[in-house]
Amino acid sequence: MTTSTHLLYLIALPLFSSAFLLLLGRIADKWGHILATLISASTFGVGLVEFFAMRSRSGDARAATQRIFEWISVGSFKVDASLLLDQLSICFVLLITGVGTLIHIYSIAYMSHDRDRRRFFAYLNLFVAAMLLLVLGDSYLNLYVGWEGVGLASYLLIGFWNERPAYATAAKKAFIANRVGDIGLSLAIMIAFTQFGSVTFAGVKAGAPHASAAALTAIGAMLLLAAAGKSAQFPLQSWLGDAMAGPTPVSALIHAATMVTAGVYLITRSSFIFDASATSRLLVVIVGAITLLFGAIVGTAKDDIKKALAASTMSQIGYMILATGLGPVGYAFAIMHLLTHGFFKASMFLGAGSVMHGMNDEVNMRKYGGLGKVMPITAATFGLGYLAIIGVPPFAGFYSKDKIIETAFNAGGTRGVLLGGAALLGAMITAFYMTRVFVLTFSGEKRWDEKAHPHESPSLMWIPMVVLSIGSVASGFLLSKGSALVHWLAPVVNSSNVESGKELMPPVVVSALALGVVIIGVFAAIVKYRKSVPLEAPTGSLLTRFARRDLGQDDFNHNVLVRPGRAITQALLGIDHKFVDGIVRAVGWTLSYLSISLKKVQNGYVRSYALLMTAGAVALLAAIWLVTL
Amino acid sequence: MNAASIIGNDPGWLIAVKGLIVFVLCVVLTLMSVWGERRIVARMQMRLGPNRVGPFGLLQSLADGVKLALKEDLIPKAADRIVFVIAPVISATTCFMSFAVMPLTGKVSLFGHKTVMQLTDLPVGVLYVLAIASVGVYGIVLAGWSSGSTYPLLGGLRSSAQVISYEVAMGLSLVAVFIYAGSMSTSDIVAAQHKWWFAVVLFPSFIIYAISMVGETNRAPFDLAEAEGELVGGFHTEYSSLKFALFFLAEYVNIVAVSSLATTLFLGGYHALPGLGFTENWLGGWFCMVWFFIKVIGFFYLFVWLRGTLPRMRYDQFMKFGWKVLIPVSLLWILVVSTLRVMSSRGEPRTVIAAFTFGIVLIIMAGSSLYERSVRKASQDELPDSSVQPSFPVPHVSGINRVESING
Amino acid sequence: MFKMALQVGSTHTPEAVLFWIMAPMAVLAALGMLLVKKAVHSALLLAWVMITLAIFYIAEDALFLGIVQVVVYTGAVMMLFLFILMLVGVDSSDSLVENIKGQRPAAILAAIGFGGLLLSLIGRAVSHTAAVGLTATNADGNVQGIAQQLFTRYVWAFEVVSALLITAALGAMVLAHSERKHISQRQLSVDRFRQASLADTAGLPASGVYARHNAVDVPALLPDGSAAPTSISSTLEARGDIIASEPFELTANEEEEN
Amino acid sequence: MDISNYIYLSAILFTIGAIGVVVRRNAIVVFMCVELMLNAANLAFVTFSRINGNLDGQIASFFTMVVAACEVVVGLAIIVTMYRSRRSASVDDASLLKR
């Protein structure tokens, strides 16, 4: 393991920049965004330097650490604030800083008319800093700080336009759903500490093989809860759709490419826990499978372009979570899908943002149509992302998603069939709704108002989109060529020693199947949406309506959680008023009565106070006298 | 064998005899000094002074004492009778007590006993003298208060404030002596001056002590407690007859006491003047007493001289002098002395010590010149603004600012 | 007395004699302090108690402390008390009538209880303890011993106490400081010369000057022959003992005649 | 003579001082009674020093004296200030703090 002194810059630079911009105030309005972008780019530079430095090292020496200071020292419990950069975190560092920088650039143009652009960039930098801390922390506690930090940044950015109550509510919703997950993470940390006496990854890893199955399952379940909260997985997925209230670059960066993948990172990072606990793995795959279908179904029903993309994000992360639950070899595929997804989803979100930019912030896809002609670059980049996500070879999604489907089938037995089937079904629905989004938006006849004057976005916006779409084309091939990423990550996730022996289905068959379902999905969507699209959404079937309501998630939450909660609160309030307040009032009344009677003692004469003191001394002496008798 | 152990062997009767000797000496000295003061002051004022009673008027003060004793003893109606009586007694008793630790001679033989003319030798002898002096002031303060009259009360107030202030300066001036002698016992201090008198070595201390001893005894120019011109007679205005005589006695015995202390602490005590040390060997221990009293009388002459020449200070100036000059100077001096003492005890080379001393002298010179400049500046600042012209015609005189010539 | 005090370390009898003479006197003086009306008497009795204690200190081989007791307590503290007494309440003799209901019996009761318990406890704790004595400790001299302790073990406390002393002195100055209300003579004289008119710069005219009568109730005449009302004492004016000045003024004719 | 007699004396003086604080009204006399209590404590200290054969008691007594001096200076300044504002040195007259 190598010691590096540059890791701190990765966090410190954006953090200070953020504080700087926030504290400096209006003075920085004119150049704040440039500073923030430069800082973000420089962290990307640092990340690249570290990456190449790591490439040049080999084996165990690749991981680098930096101890910053002793953070907590309570008895035997000692936690250092120290950073760990290994093969897994460098992937994230590059993704975060690279995509982050592109989105910074994009935001300069996108937010150029906003009064609070400086604040927006400060928050973006804060997010980058927190996210980097999350992936660089060498212990669960350090990770937790970053975890909370990204939660905060996400809250601030979703509610960036908090003058609109709905947006502020969306921010609160995201925050609260995240809190539920955070409880899971903190519980996991506490259990880990009680079990292993350490909260560092290394310490837990060392202790994991010897721990009881129950403890491991508990930690795994709690970590999964945390991941579900952060990554919008079932059953905590409801916040992500509402989180689209934030500015589109935020959706691209935080709610598509980086933060929502933190759950995947957490599970991958904790591979030693999940490797040791089959029950946890089962939970993970169940959550992943449900979510990928759930998100896909929701995605088909949404008319809001951003919400449709959000549902797709949810579904894609479901794929990743599913992959992480499939054992050692799945981790690498999960991370690969995460990276490719980061490219194509960010590219598509930016495309959506570009469309909204041209359409006066109109988000309803039914009012788009035929935009491909007026926005050629946007349509092209979005199209590349679209092809990548549905898994058309040789685009990125093909490589990453097929691997996951294949691994799912290879899980073996009924489970393999079920999971593989779910994944395959998901792929089909994905193809359907993504085609729907593309067709509704870019092709067909124009359905927009006379007032709208759609136009291509400025270069500052389309250059990042182009760069990202190049990534969404090439990344899959590059990462899977010669199993590059699998080998790269092998030391972290222990996948080297596990080679799946039996194959349920050979890769070629899986690819063919996947391609087949994708074609079916695409075809179905084209048939349905090619011709005429009503401006008002038709009532649709029961399933459609159910899907439009997020498959009843919010209703469920409202009825099962909020209502009883309210009732309990009301009851507690009653108890508080009647009973607790009664006691307090009684105490207060008694005290005031006592003080009124005792007030006479305080007559203002120093001498009577002195007399009381003497009486006290006499009492004391008497006590001593009695005790020593 | 040092003085303390010699005294430790004294039988009781010898102590009594020594006490008697000291008492008689003090009373005789008082009589003589009253006469002497009158004669000397008279000479200073181009008069003759008392010269009728006895040879050279020597018995004048005895006659005055007898006359005082025969006068009517008045106690004012408003007076607090008990305290009024006690006050002169306190004064008169305490003034003798400080003689208990004064070493009057070296080793002598008295009725066949080897001893020294010192009643007792306390390790904290000088502090004891200070303590007794501070008790002695009660006489004055109480006399002032108990008279039930305004002037004495003012005298008593002044006296108490004066004593509190000047005792501090006096005590501080003695610290340097303690540091150099390494002891607070009077006999040890005398012994420590075997080579150099402390009046030379610790000259600033000597000056401060000399000033504060005048303040301590309420003598001109610091006789504010009795200030005839302002307070009719101060604390003893209402006293007459023997009680007055006791105050009288106390004042002169006190003068002798502080002079003795000054002699002991700064002028080498009973030892002979420099260069005359052989007299001690030739004429025996008793002759030391002559040297001792020569020095004491020298101090007494100083007292008289001061009275004859200096006007009384104003009260606020007097307090200001005590607090703002004597005490800070003493403190600084102690600092210097202790530094020097530490340096020499650590065996620093002489050049370093000399350099330090020289530096101190330079700093003092610089400080005093700065002070004077600031005083001059302040006095210039006080002049009124010359642009404001008087509203009446003033003859022009060349070279003189008109306003200044009027207001300054 | 001091002779004896020095020897008590070795023999017990003189110390007992001393104690049984001085201690009752001290208690009587303390009681007297409690009971006498005049505060000055209280102060004197307290001073006496303090001197007694000083003698006891000396008898108990605490020579330095005994002398310091006299210098500090009797010399400085009690003198300060007397000073303040004279300044503040010379004739405000305390009335001994109690005005808080039940204060006195309660106080006496508490005191008896306190004293009784204290004495009984002391009796249990230290009665007939064999004293180690200070002869060995004071072998190098009491002052030296105290200095040794004070500047080694207790040096920190010593420094803190000195800081406290300075703070107390400053605090007392700040507390007792009052803005000067009266104007100094010098300031008065400067002001006199600075006013617009120099008419009474040299002081107010005395009564009867230049007038035809030199009684105190006759105003002085100014150079122009008019009367100067400021020349008559304000007391006389207040009493109304003032004579109309017109008859005594010089008229123009008279001036010419003269 | 029993050395504990000094302690008894100290206790008696202390008690007298305590009564004085409670009973007397003249602030200065109250103050003097406090001084008496301190002195009584000092006597006990000195005696303990002798009983134990070390100088710690005397040192404590020394510090008590210094602190008492501080206390007197400040206390008397307060009394003077009080007297200046209300022409009285009675502690009962300064009873307005009760409200």
A604 contacts in C (CB within 8 Å)? none
pLDDT interval class at C235 (50, 70, 90) = confident
* pLDDT, tens only, B6-22: 776 777 788 888 888 88
pLDDT score of C108 more than 80? yes
Output B389 or C148, whichever has higher pLDDT: C148
Q: Determine, for residues A602 and D98 on separate chains, whether the beta-carbon distance falls below 8 Å.
A: yes
Q: Which domain holds residue D77?
A: 25-87
Task: Return residues 27-66 of D near C (CB < 8 Å).
Answer: 28-29, 31-33, 35-36, 39, 42-43, 46-47, 49-56, 58-59, 61-63, 65-66
Cβ neighbours around C169 below 10 Å, total: 15
Calculate the alpha carbon distances from C49 to C108, D5, D16, D20 in Å.
22, 16, 12, 15
pLDDT score of C160: 92
What percent of chain A is predicted at pLDDT more than 70?
96
Q: Which residues pair with A200 in a beta bridge?
A: A139
D71 assigned to some structural domain? yes
Range C1-91: architecture per CATH: Up-down Bundle (1.20)
Q: Determine, for residues A607 and D92 on separate chains, whether the beta-carbon distance falls below 8 Å.
A: yes
Q: Helical H runs in C151-184?
A: 155-176
Of D9, D35, D84, the CB nearest to C77: D35
D7 assigned to some structural domain? no
pLDDT score of C5 more than 60? no
Output A150 or A368, whichever has higher pLDDT: A150
pLDDT score of B48 more than 80? yes
For the record, the structure tokens of B11 come out as 């039988």
Output A2 or A494, whichever has higher pLDDT: A2
User: How many separate domains does chain D show?
Assistant: 1
pLDDT score of B395: 57
* pLDDT, tens only, A506-545: 778 888 888 888 888 888 888 887 776 676 667 667 777 7
pLDDT score of C163: 92
Substitution target in D21, D24, D33, D82 with the highest count of A β-carbons within 10 Å is D21
pLDDT score of A490 more than 70? yes
Mean pLDDT calculated for residue range A253-281: 86
pLDDT score of C1: 38
pLDDT score of A503: 59
Of C6, C71, C143, the CB nearest to B131: C71
CB distance from D68 to chain C under 8 Å? yes
What is the distance between the alpha carbons of residues A179 and A95, in angstroms, rounded to a whole number? Answer: 25
Which of A565-574, B280-289, C8-17 bottoms out in mean pLDDT, i.e. has the lowest? C8-17
Q: Determine, for residues A615 and C110 on separate chains, whether the beta-carbon distance falls below 8 Å.
A: yes
Q: Determine, for residues C197 and B391 on separate chains, whether the beta-carbon distance falls below 8 Å.
A: yes
Task: Return residues 109-168 of C near D (CB < 8 Å).
Answer: 110-111, 114-115, 118-119, 122-123, 126-129, 131-134, 136-137, 142, 145-146, 149-150, 154, 157, 161, 164-165, 167-168
In sequence order, the 6+-apart residues with CB closer than 8 A to the CB of B244 are: B68, B88, B236
Q: Are B23 and B96 in contact (CB under 8 A)?
A: yes
Tokens 């379902």 belong to residue? A517
* pLDDT, tens only, B113-172: 777 777 778 888 888 888 888 888 888 888 888 888 888 888 888 887 887 788 888 888
pLDDT score of B90 more than 80? yes
pLDDT score of B197 more than 70? yes
Tokens 């979570």 belong to residue? A321
* pLDDT, tens only, B298-357: 988 998 998 888 888 888 888 888 888 888 888 888 888 888 888 888 877 888 888 888
pLDDT interval class at B192 (50, 70, 90) = confident
pLDDT score of B400: 52
pLDDT score of D40: 92
* pLDDT, tens only, A396-448: 888 888 888 888 887 777 888 888 888 888 888 888 888 888 888 887 777 77
pLDDT score of A412: 72
CB distance from D91 to chain A under 8 Å? yes
D56 assigned to some structural domain? yes
pLDDT interval class at B408 (50, 70, 90) = very low
pLDDT interval class at C96 (50, 70, 90) = low
Q: Determine, for residues D77 and C136 on separate chains, whether the beta-carbon distance falls below 8 Å.
A: no
- Could you tell me where in chain C the CATH 1.20.120.1200 domains are found? 1-91
pLDDT score of C4: 41
H helix or E strand, kind and range, residue B306: helix B288-309
Task: Return residues 150-169 of A near C (CB < 8 Å).
Answer: none
A605 contacts in C (CB within 8 Å)? 100
* pLDDT, tens only, C159-206: 999 999 999 989 888 887 777 677 777 777 777 777 766 666 777 777
pLDDT score of C249: 65
Backbone angles phi, psi at C101, to 5 degrees: -65, 130
Rounded to a whole number of angstroms, the distance from the CA of C108 to the nearest CA of chain B is 29
Mean pLDDT calculated for residue range D2-30: 85
**Average predicted confidence (pLDDT) for chain A:** 84
CB distance from D23 to chain A under 8 Å? yes
The single-letter DSSP state of residue B384 is P
Rounded to a whole number of angstroms, the distance from the CA of C72 to the nearest CA of chain D is 8
DSSP characters over B79-115:
S-HHHHHHHHHHHHHHHHHGGGG----SEEEETTEEE
pLDDT score of C11: 43
* pLDDT, tens only, A42-93: 999 988 888 888 888 877 778 888 888 888 887 777 788 888 888 888 888 9
Mean pLDDT calculated for residue range B389-397: 57
* pLDDT, tens only, A319-348: 888 888 887 778 888 888 888 888 888 888
CB distance from D23 to chain C under 8 Å? yes
Q: Determine, for residues C172 and D74 on separate chains, whether the beta-carbon distance falls below 8 Å.
A: yes
Which of A166-175, A353-362, B84-93 bottoms out in mean pLDDT, i.e. has the lowest? A353-362
pLDDT score of B1 more than 50? no
| Best CA proximity match to A346, nearest among A400, A387, A385 | A385
Q: Determine, for residues D1 and C19 on separate chains, whether the beta-carbon distance falls below 8 Å.
A: yes
pLDDT score of A17 more than 50? yes
**Domain chopping of chain A, boundaries:** 557-627
SS3 of residue A496 by DSSP: coil
pLDDT score of B386: 52
Q: Determine, for residues C76 and D19 on separate chains, whether the beta-carbon distance falls below 8 Å.
A: no
In sequence order, the 6+-apart residues with CB closer than 8 A to the CB of B120 are: B7, B100, B101, C2, C3, C6
Do chain D and B touch: 3 or more Cβ pairs under 8 angstroms? no
* pLDDT, tens only, A570-600: 998 888 888 888 888 899 999 999 888 887 7
pLDDT score of B2 more than 70? no
Q: What angle do CA A276, A281, A287 make, to 5 degrees?
A: 160
C33 contacts in D (CB within 8 Å)? 16, 20, 29, 32-33, 36
* pLDDT, tens only, A281-304: 888 888 888 888 888 888 888 888
In sequence order, the 6+-apart residues with CB closer than 8 A to the CB of C63 are: B122, B123, B124, C57, C142, C143
